Amino acid sequence: MTSQRLAAAAFGVAMAGAAAVGADQWALIAVAVALIAVPAGLYLRAAATAAVLVVVGAVALSPSQPMLAAVSGVCATAYLVLTHAAITRPTAIGIVGFAAIGVLATAVPAGLPWLALLAPVAAVVAVGVALGPFFGAED
């Protein structure tokens, strides 16, 4: 087993472990399914995607803490990236950055329930700003 697959397996187990903390019965069953799918995902990419989706379901089923959900998300992203390719510096910065923004968004009590509706718009604007230089006017 290569070091990349070993690191992917470690992130997969950490992803499931973070989702299991404080989980109830149904979420623990989902975590157990994910732990079965993690090693299979090292050889079948569809199983890796299934493992991540099952952990997302486990997080949704349990009253998890925002920080544990963020840790699980970071590990899930690293697991998928290592399963499909290799982690580069920009990828790692993006993973940690989005996790930090998500944790901050849940930690700050804004008292505005509609504020979450702006997240998709903000994501599209951010992608547009990032891709803007690539679609500049030709002289």
> What's the mean pLDDT when you consider all of the chain?
84
What pLDDT, on the 0 to 100 scale, is given for residue 9?
92
120 alpha carbon, distance to own chain's centre: 17
Tell me if 32 is assigned to some domain: yes
Tell me if 139 is assigned to some domain: no
DSSP state of 43: T
Cα 17 from Cα 31, distance rounded (Å): 8
Tell me if 76 is assigned to some domain: yes
Tell me if 113 is assigned to some domain: yes
Domain residue limits at 49: 3-134
Render pLDDT for 23-77 as a digit per residue (tens, 0 to 9). Answer: 888 989 999 999 999 999 988 989 999 999 999 999 888 886 778 888 888 899 8
- 66, 113, 120 from 117: Cα distances, Å: 18, 8, 7
Q: Where are the alpha helices (DSSP H) in 21-65?
A: 25-41, 45-61
Number of domains in the chain: 1
DSSP state of 138: P
Contact present, 66 and 103 (Cβ < 8 Å): yes
Tell me if 112 is assigned to some domain: yes
Tell me if 61 is assigned to some domain: yes
Q: Tokens for 79, please give them.
A: 């697991």
Q: Tokens for 100, please give them.
A: 């930090």
More confident residue, 48 or 107: 48
In percent, the amount of the chain with pLDDT more than 70 equals: 89
Tell me if 94 is assigned to some domain: yes
